Amino acid sequence: MQRSRYERIGITGSPATGKKTLAKSLSRETAFRVVNINYLCISRGAIVGRDRYGIIADTLKLKRIVSKEIGEDKFIIIGHLLPYVVSKKDLDIVFILRCNPYVLEARLRERRYAEKKVLMNVGAEVLGTTYTDAVKRYGIDKIHVIDTSTKTPDDVTKEALSILNGNSKYDGLDIDWLELVRKKGDLRRIFPDSYY
């Protein structure tokens, strides 16, 4: 079992960036329990409604549920809703998993996401929505970005363990998927007027 400088770990990012995979690996290495925000949302009924793409979370209720669930224990908490339901004081470090939008698009299609949901999630990754919201919520000092585009799950775990042991840090400020998509001429395809 590995020792960690950090005992309250958050993992967030767009769908299909590898959050659950990393959480399981880190849990095996640290023996910290994993708390899945999506599971809590559904199992505890923190839902205000549904649309054709899934559930709509009741973030106020979910905040209270998450706060009770994590307590003072050592934990790894995961989910794309992390910045909206977990406070800064409750986390020592936040991993934000990023992914090249073209790689992410292929992963989402492989998971058979609806077309609109594919483009909405890819668009959010291009704009860095989760990254921006996490930095606003937790501050750049608590953030460590891992680009999972071309890394194996083992590579991602090794990088995460390295930061947990104080050996490296990456704030991800230089990631610019918007410029990549613009250069490829895909802005209108990823952000069609009819979807917004």
> 28-86, pLDDT tens digit by residue?
999 999 999 999 998 988 888 887 767 789 899 999 999 999 987 899 999 999 999 99
Residues 6+ apart with CB under 8 A from 196: none
Yes or no: say if 175 and 128 are a contact pair by the CB < 8 Å rule: yes
Place of tokens 């410029």: 179
Give the β-pairing of 47-51 and 54-57: antiparallel
State how far the Cα of 179 lies from the Cα of 158, in Å rounded to an integer: 29
Yes or no: say if 71 and 33 are a contact pair by the CB < 8 Å rule: no
Yes or no: say if 139 and 91 are a contact pair by the CB < 8 Å rule: no
The CATH number of domain 8-35+75-195 is 3.40.50.740: no
SS3 state at 45 = coil
> 96-147, pLDDT tens digit by residue?
999 999 999 999 999 999 899 999 999 999 999 999 999 999 999 999 999 9
- Structure pTM? 0.93
State how far the Cα of 102 lies from the Cα of 119, in Å rounded to an integer: 11
**DSSP character for 32?**
P
Domain locations along the chain = 8-35+75-195
